Each structure stands twice: as structure tokens, then as C-alpha cells.
A and B are shown apart, each in its own frame.
Chain A
Amino acid sequence: MKRSGFSFLARPQFAALIAVLFINWLLFPGFFDITWQDGRLFGSLIDVLNRGAPVAILAIGMTAVIATKGVDLSVGAVMAISGAVAASLVVGGTASWIAVLAALGIGLACGLWNGMLVTVLDMQPIIATLVLMVAGRGLAQLITEGSIVTFSDPLLIFIGTGSFLGFPMPVVIAFVLLVGSTLAVRRTALGLLIEAVGVNRSAARFAGITSGALLLLVYAFAGFCAAVSGLIVAGDIRGADANNSGLWLELDAILAVVIGGTSLLGGRFSIPMSVLGAMIIQAMNTGILISGFSPEFNLVVKSGVIILILVLQSPLAARLFSRGHARPEPATAPRTTP
């Protein structure tokens, strides 16, 4: 159960990523070529990292939520809100750093709202976050007044398209968030406490863990990550598109987390593995694009991946793979007095 070090290299997900990249290379022999131009790296591989960054960032936030046995359906809508806030502010003449902070603050507030519904009102996460999923895009359109707000603010554009040490900014931001959040959960007690709450909330209560604050934090962080992602997407197209920014990306983020091996039933989680999952998704996207299929064909492949994972994780498969390990008690037996 040791997570640090390089043990993740031995995981099947890593092999899957290699396999997808290898197929891409077969389809497009120049796939692994990386060139240095104008002080930054170029190449298909860099492109995979760059395009995959928004989902990877969402997945970072989503991982902790799912680890607590929750889910956040609103992150796509929060992306739209964050982009809209930043774009409208800079167009209105606000200093760009204030606009960025405001966008991040709004994301945090959205996450806190979700967290409040889950903890204070004790709503099911899927229902609580559905509210913002429905209304959020409307709010984003309200802010942009229905149009795509374009801007030429250098800071926002730098966030979406700039580079640092040769790497595209989205990749750098995703990497910083990955390292930062991994350290934050593993160097403090947060990771263990989140897992404890996800594994057994009742036992967590008996052990003196106050899960309310923990859940608030986790949802707020998911909102924050969504806001970061929203800024990147807005900077990339130099405008805030309230209709399409982050559309369906919440589903990609959930998928990335699931591919990364965090169970939807909560418990053990790994942020790096979720990011790896996001990269697998993006590598498939890119592969489909270079092989000439329409981008929508991607959806078919994605659904295939989900079905495969579901089958592999199902109790049915567990029974097939481990015959002889008879389960002591049927889980569905009616409850009687012990």
C-alpha cells in the first residue's frame, strides 16, 4: 500500500498509456518527435499533455471528492462560470490579476456551496451538485450576456497558451497542482482522513474524525480546480464561451478518476493515477484525431473503456477471477437481529 516512489510504473494504467501511445506512433510515425522552437517544446506528445491538462486538473479535484464516496457533477459548469468572470472583468477594465483571483474565488465559492449542501443539508452528492450543473451554465451566460466574450489580456492568454521552461502553461499549472495537492494530502493527515471517511463514515465518527469540515474542504478544492481549468480553456481560445466551455468535461474527469483506480464507492485514492487516467483519455483523443476519424468517434471509444472497467470491477468478475475465495456471508441477506 506504499504510494510514494515509482510503484505506479507497475500499474496496468501505465501499461495502458504506453499501449495507446504506441498505437498512436504506429498511426503516425512522427508521434514521438519533439522539437524546440521559439523557446518552447513542440510535438504530438507535448500536445497530448497540453490538451489533457484541463481534464487532468478537474480530475485532481474530483479524486478527493470521489474518495469520500461523493461526486461533483458541476465542475464543467463551474469552468464556464470562472472563464466568464475573468473575461468579463478584464474586458470591463479590471486588472488582470484581480480578475484571475476573482475567477478562482468564484470557483471556491461554488465548491463551498456544493459542500454545504452535502454536509449541512446532508444531500446525496449527485443530487446536490446537479443543481449547479443545471443552473451554472445559465449563470455563466448571464455574466457573459450570452455572447462569447473575447479579450486580449496578456495574463489570461499566457495562462492558456504561454510557456514556462519550454512547457506549455496548462501543463505547468497541472503539474504544480498535481505536486502541490499530492504533497498536501500525503504530507498532512488529510489524505488518510479523507480515505477513512470514504471507507467507513460511521467508524470515522467513532474514531473522532469530524467529517463535515473535511467534506467542505474537498468540494471547495474541486470547485477551485474547476476554476483553474476554466481559466486555461478561456485563455486558450482568448474568450469565454459560456455554452461550450467545459461541456461534458465533468464526465471526462470522473472517467479519468475511475481509470486511475479510485473506486466510486470511496476509499483509497491516488491523485497521480487520476492524472494518468486523464492522459490516457487525451492520448486516445489524439490518436483518433490523427487516424482521421471524427472527434465524436472518441465517445464510442470512451464508452467502450467505461464498459470494460465496469465489467472488470464488477462483483461478477471478482467471482470469476477468484474462485475458491468463498465470501463468508452474502451481502444481500435480509437484516435480522444479530
Chain B
Amino acid sequence: MNRSLRPLAATATIFVLAYLAAVSQHPGMLSTRVLGNFLTDNAFLGIAAVGMTFVIISGGIDLSVGAVIGFTTVLIAVLIMWVGLHPLVAFAIALAVSALFGACMGAAIHYLKVPSFIVTLAGMFLARGGASVLSPDSIGIKHEFYSTISKSYLLMPGGGRLTVIGGIMIAVFLFGIVLAHRTRFGSYVYALGGNETSAALMGVPVARTTIQIYMLSSTLAGLAGIVFSLYTSAGYSLSALGVELDAIAAVVIGGTLLTGGYGFVAGTFVGVMLQGLVQTYIVFDGSLSSWWTKIVIGALLFMFILLQRLVFTASAPSRKVLWKT
């Protein structure tokens, strides 16, 4: 097997086993209703994690996504409730603002030659601070459009509901998969994560690609903010606290190498679902407390980092070669 597939296979196996184990204890977890809730409850995390996948594959990290989600919810609430714009217009503005924000971070990372974690850290402070400057208090959003959206869903067999925001997440994942594996941009992202010097020598536009990567991540965080705002019908500067850590964990558990160069967008989906499974199991169990989520995620994170080290340091080139002479 391709060695970069091994962590992903491990994740998928763990997910299936964990799901089976959970179902054997709580048969109620085997239903499309639970699946539908899975998708809805984790939609914003999943969307942000897609962007994070690209950033991590390129060898960087984006600590600002949670803050951008929070900022976006506030911006949308302000635009709809105070300015009186239609939600769709507010969404467009929010996406444009977050895209610009990401582009600025990408430019800073490339041109100032600073580690991505410190630039996106500044971005995190700026977005959280900016959000609370806009409004320190939570703003409830009341708009017909919101109630229409939250009432719309596709009925799945078994009574489960695929909500609009769940559908958006799935669409984003499909988009991410195509973008990563079937476009030149995608190959540039992997190239940067593999070896930036080589990539530059091979003609990868390093500056443009770096800016685009962080633009993509922030735009998707903005979209996650839109989804979060639809999910909670509110805008609050402190919403989605720490989501960047959940997103990073989902990406790593999904088989993407934290040092860059290897990974799959589809793996991130499994990573998000595994996190959702842990949470759902804890809810179903009732006797376990919510903090176990963090501990289990932390343990999984450690396990996968260790697994990746083993896979990527132990396997030497061994492929058979046919030389014709």
C-alpha cells in the first residue's frame, strides 16, 4: 500500500471499529437520524477543517480559523440586524472580507518570512478583537431567510435529516477533494509541503500559491462562520473558541502529516466524523463527561503523530524497478 495511505486506513479502521463498538452498546446510534445530526452538528468544523487540510499539507498552520468564524458570525449579525441587508448580501460581504483577511496573512507569511503560526496568531487576535469591537455582546438574528433555511432539509431513508448546512459541508468536502487532487493548485500545495526549494526550482509560483492557500483557509472559515450563524441564529465574538485546535486534530487524525506534503481531504472528513462520534457516544452514554472528548482527541492526536513518524521514517525506498537495457 502507498505509505501515505496507511494513516488514513488506520483512521478509517478505527472509525468503523469505534462505531461498531458504540452501536453494540447503544443500538440507537445506528440510524440515519444520528448520521444527520452528525453532519449538522459538525458542519462548521468540517468546512474549516477542509481549509486547514490545505494549509497543513503545504507545511503551515492556521491558528486564526476559530476567530474568523467568530468574526464572521458577528459581521453577518451586524449587517443583517443593524444595517438591514439581506442575508445573502451579508454572506457575500463576509466571504469577501475573510478572503481578503486570509490573503493578507498569506502575503505576510511569504514576504516577511515568518512562521505561519505567529502570523495566524496575530490574525486570531485581530479577528477576535475586531469581532468584539463590532459588538461585544451576542446578537440574535431574526430573519425569514434564516428560519426558511433551518426548516429545509432532505429526508434520508430511516428518517434522518440532511440539513442545508450538512449539505454545504459535504459539498465543500467534494470541492476540496477535487481541488487537492485534480488541479494544478492542488499539486502546488503538495509541492510546497514536500520541499519549498525544490518546488520553487520546478517553477511553482510560491508567493501566489502561499497567498491562495491562506485565502482558501480563511474563506472556508468565513463559510464555516456563515454555517455557524445559520446553526445558532446568532452572532457572538467568542463563538467557535478553540475550533482551530479541533480542526487541526481532525486533519491530523485524518492522516495528513503535520509537517506537510502528505494528506487527503477525504481523510479529514473521517477525522471530523471520528470527533463527532466521540461526542455523540459521550452524549448517548450519559455517564461520561464532556471533557473526555478533549482527552480522547488528544490521545488520538498523539497516536497518529507517532504512527506517522513510524510510517514515514521506517519505510525505505523498496520499489521494484525494471531497467531495460
Contact = CB atoms under 8 A, between A and B. Distances in A.
Direct contact of A and B (CB under 8 A): yes
Nearest to A296: B132
B293 A121 contact: no
Q: Is the interface of A mostly helix, strand, loop or mixed?
A: helix
Contact of B249 (A134, A304, A316): A134
A131 interface: yes
A183 B309 CA distance: 38
A302 interface: yes
Interface in B296-321: 296-299, 301-302, 305-306, 309
A121 B121 CA distance: 27
A307 B108 contact: yes
A315 interface: yes
Interface string A69-95: 001000000000000000000000000
Nearest to A255: B121
B125 A146 contact: no
Interface residues of B, number: 48
| Interface residue range, chain A | 35 or more
A70 to B, nearest CB: 12
A299 interface: yes
Contacts of B61: 126
A325 B245 CA distance: 43
A303 B125 contact: yes
A304 B292 CA distance: 37
Nearest to A138: B294
A310 B301 CA distance: 30
Given A121-B309, A307-B122, A332-B200, A131 B298 contact: yes
Nearest to B196: A332
A334 interface: yes
B145 interface: no
A251 B296 CA distance: 24
A268 interface: no
Given A124-B259, A127-B305, A134 B108 contact: no
B100 to A, nearest CB: 15
B115 interface: yes
B113 interface: yes
Contacts of A165: none
Contact of A316 (B111, B259, B292, B297): B111
A136 interface: yes
A238 interface: no
B129 interface: yes
